[in-house]
Amino acid sequence: MKLPDKTTTMESAIAAIPDGATVMLGGFGVPGTPFLMIRELVRQNKRDLTIIKNDANETGMGVDHLLVAGCVRRLITTHLGLNANAIRMMNAGEIEVEFCAQGMLAERIRAGGAGLKAIVTDIGIDTEMGAGKPRVEVNGETAMIETALRADVAVLHAAQADPFGNLCYAATARNFSPLMAMAAKTVIVETEKLVALGALAPDHVHTPGPFVDHVVHIPELSEEYAVVRR
C-alpha cells in the first residue's frame, strides 16, 4: 500500500467549483487566507457564491476582491470591522450577510465536519443573535439549536502539505482551516511547501490527508501574504 497522490494545478482545482457554490475560506485576517486561490476564483469569474469566512479581510485584500468583482451573493461571517467596502455592500443590499458569534461559526463548521446535524448551546441566548432560533430543554436548562454548516468546497492555505494532503499550518494561520477541511464535500489546499510523503511526522499533522481532495503547490507567495504595515 502507498497513499494516493492528490497534487494538481490551481486552475483545474478551482475550475471544478460551479457558480452558486458554497465556499468556505480559511483565514483570520491575513494568516491562513488563501490569497492566490481567491485571485483564481476572481479570474475564473465565479458567480453567486456563498462565502463562509471569519472576516472579509481588509479593503483591497483577499475576500474583498471577490466582493468587488461581484462574485458573492451571500457571506456568513463574524466580523467585517476592517472592510468598509463589505459593510457598504451589506448596507446597500448588494450582498446578504449572516453574522455568527465567532466561536459558534467555528463550532457549527466543526459540527458539519463531524457529521452532526446540530449543536445545542446557550451562546447569545439573551441577545438578538439568539432571536428566532429553536429552543430545547437539556437537563432542565433552555438552550438553542444551532445547525451544522457544510460547504460544497473549502479553499485553504497550509504552510506544509504532502501529496496525500496531510497538512500543517503555521502559528495563528491555523484558525478555521482544520474545521473547514472536515466540513466540505471537496477540499482544495494551496501549500507553501510541498514535502515528500513521510516528511511530516504523523504526530504533528494538523489535518489528516483523507479530509483533503486536491493539493496545489504555490512556489511563491504574493505580497498579500506579507506583514501588513499599519
Partner 1 sequence: MSDAKLRLIARAARDIAPGMTVNLGIGLPTQVVNHLGPDFPVCLHTENGMTGIGPTLPFDAADRNLIDAGGAYVSPIPGSAYFDSATSFAMVRSGRLDLTMLGAFEVAENGDLANWKIPGKFSPGAGGGMELAQKARRVVVLTTHTDRAGNPKLLTRCTLPLTAAGCVDRIFTDMAVIDVTPAGFALRELARSVTVAQVKKATGAALHLPEGDIPTF
In this complex, which beta carbon is closest to partner 1, that of residue 14 or of residue 184?
Answer: 184
Burial tier of 129 (Cβ tally within 10 Å: 0-12, 13-18, 19+)? middle
Cα–Cα distance, 161 to 105 (Å, whole number) = 25
Beta carbons of 36 and 218 less than 8 angstroms apart: yes
Beta carbons of 156 and 26 less than 8 angstroms apart: yes
Map the footprint of a second copy across residues 107-126, applying CB under 8 A. 107, 111, 114-122
Task: Record the cell numbers describing residue 164, joined without a space.
Answer: 496525500
Q: Is 201 helix (H, G, I), strand (E, B) or coil?
A: coil
Map the footprint of partner 1 across residues 205-224, applying CB under 8 A. 205-206, 208-211
> CB under 5 to 8 A by kind: which of partner 1, a second copy, none does 147 bind?
a second copy
Cα–Cα distance, 201 to 198 (Å, whole number) = 7
Q: Does 145 help bind a second copy (rule: CB under 8 A)?
A: yes
Q: Is 75 helix (H, G, I), strand (E, B) or coil?
A: strand
Q: Does 35 help bind partner 1 (rule: CB under 8 A)?
A: no
In this complex, which beta carbon is closest to partner 1, that of residue 44 or of residue 163?
Answer: 163
Q: Does 18 help bind partner 1 (rule: CB under 8 A)?
A: no
Contact pattern for a second copy over residues 184 through 213, marking x by CB under 8 A: ------------------xxx-x-------
Interface with a second copy (CB under 8 A): 107, 111, 114-122, 134, 136, 138-139, 141, 143, 145, 147, 168-171, 202-204, 206
